[in-house]
């Protein structure tokens, strides 16, 4: 079961990876979105061991000036900026900006917050790898 979970995860996260034409038919355009073993603050990516794994995918819209508030994740979280520019403040690690078309592997067990400092909505596509009732985020 864990092996199937990892396979599904790999397909979701890396479905944008460049592949050889023989793997798919047609005229698909495939772009690599992420290819890393480290998250946004340099932590090694680790997959949790859950008895009942669960993948949650969300589209999150930040109106101008909106923030997530300070929070952390105890599960792997992968985000893609569909629209706008997201500013992420990471406790003790500084601030980073992610523009439209950027992807990020979010920090693990480290407080951070996302902020829309722009004048248009920021829209994210987010994949959470959880299970066993684990919260998607823990507020500070």
Query: 45-70: per-residue pLDDT in tens?
Result: 988 899 999 999 999 999 999 999 99
Greater confidence (40 vs 11) lies with 40
Phi, psi (rounded to 5 degrees) for 23? -80, -25
In angstroms, the CA 77 to CA 22 distance is: 31
Q: 5 pLDDT band (50/70/90 cuts)?
A: very low
Q: 13 pLDDT band (50/70/90 cuts)?
A: very low
Joined together, the tokens standing for residue 51 give 């008895």
In angstroms, the CA 20 to CA 74 distance is: 35
Kindly list the domain boundaries of the chain, sorted by start residue. Answer: 36-139
Query: Which strands sit side by side in the sheet containing 122-131, from one edge to the other?
Result: 53-62, 122-131, 77-83, 103-105
**Are the beta carbons of 110 and 41 closer than 8 angstroms?**
yes
Which CATH homologous superfamily contains domain 36-139?
Jelly Rolls (2.60.120.10)
pLDDT digits over 69-116, tens only? 999 999 999 999 999 999 999 999 999 999 999 999 999 999 999 999
- Predicted local confidence at residue 128, as pLDDT: 97
- Predicted local confidence at residue 8, as pLDDT: 44
- Predicted local confidence at residue 28, as pLDDT: 85
pTM of the predicted model as reported, rounded to 2 decimal places: 0.79
């Amino acid at each position: 079961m864990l092996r199937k979970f990892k396979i599904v995860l790999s397909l979701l996260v890396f479905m944008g990876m460049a592949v050889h034409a023989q793997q798919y038919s047609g005229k698909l355009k495939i772009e690599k979105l992420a290819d890393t073993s480290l998250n946004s603050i340099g932590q090694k990516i680790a997959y949790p061991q859950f008895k009942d794994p669960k993948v949650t995918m969300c589209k999150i819209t930040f109106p101008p000036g909106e923030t997530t508030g300070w929070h952390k994740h105890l599960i792997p979280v992968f985000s893609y900026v569909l629209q706008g520019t997201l500013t992420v403040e990471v406790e003790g690690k500084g601030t980073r900006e992610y523009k439209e078309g950027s992807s990020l592997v979010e920090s693990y067990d480290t407080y951070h917050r996302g902020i829309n400092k722009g004048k248009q909505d920021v829209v994210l596509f987010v994949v959470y790898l959880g299970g066993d009732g684990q919260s998607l985020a823990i507020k500070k």
